[in-house]
């Protein structure tokens, strides 16, 4: 059974803080993704990664960065959190480059920036 875990289910931070969201998958997947989910906007891709130390911008990368030092771990970083980054953050992973494989999602982190 594929397992994707995220470090926190709920997180409350102050404006200007540096925020780290961690995602770990246990299926040796090559690809990992970070989305944010907002009501009425669906899931929007922030960043994704095909391999260790590799990253690609998604649709809304502004204000975010990522790190993938190990294959199983993909971190999302908010360098200076702002209130408009209050959202649900979902991590996902799948295997195979340029493949049509199911993405497996983590449980999500609901981030509130005050």
Partner 1 sequence: GENVEQHPSTLSVQEGDSAVIKCTYSDSASNYFPWYKQELGKRPQLIIDIRSNVGEKKDQRIAVTLNKTAKHFSLHITETQPEDSAVYFCAAQTGANNLFFGTGTRLTVIP
Give 64 or 81: the residue with its C-beta nearer to partner 1.
64
46 near partner 1, rule: CB under 8 A: no
How many residues can be counted in the chain? 114
Count of residues of this chain found to bind partner 1 when the rule CB under 8 A is applied: 27
Q: Which of 44, 61, 67, 72 binds partner 1 (CB under 8 A)?
A: 44
> 55, 49 in Cβ contact below 8 A?
yes
Read off the tokens for 70: 């190990």
62 near partner 1, rule: CB under 8 A: no
Read off the tokens for 105: 């999602």
Q: Which of 11, 50, 61, 77 binds partner 1 (CB under 8 A)?
A: 50
């Amino acid at each position: 059974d594929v397992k994707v875990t995220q470090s926190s289910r709920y997180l409350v931070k102050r404006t200007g803080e540096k925020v780290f969201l961690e995602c770990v998958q246990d299926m040796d997947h090559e690809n990992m993704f970070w989305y944010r989910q907002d009501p009425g906007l669906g899931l929007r891709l922030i960043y994704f990664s095909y391999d260790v130390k590799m990253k690609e911008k998604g649709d809304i990368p502004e204000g975010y960065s990522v790190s993938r030092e190990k294959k199983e771990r993909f971190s999302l970083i908010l360098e200076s959190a702002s209130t408009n980054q209050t959202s649900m953050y979902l991590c996902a992973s799948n295997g195979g480059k340029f493949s049509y494989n199911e993405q497996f999602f983590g449980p999500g982190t609901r981030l509130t920036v005050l």
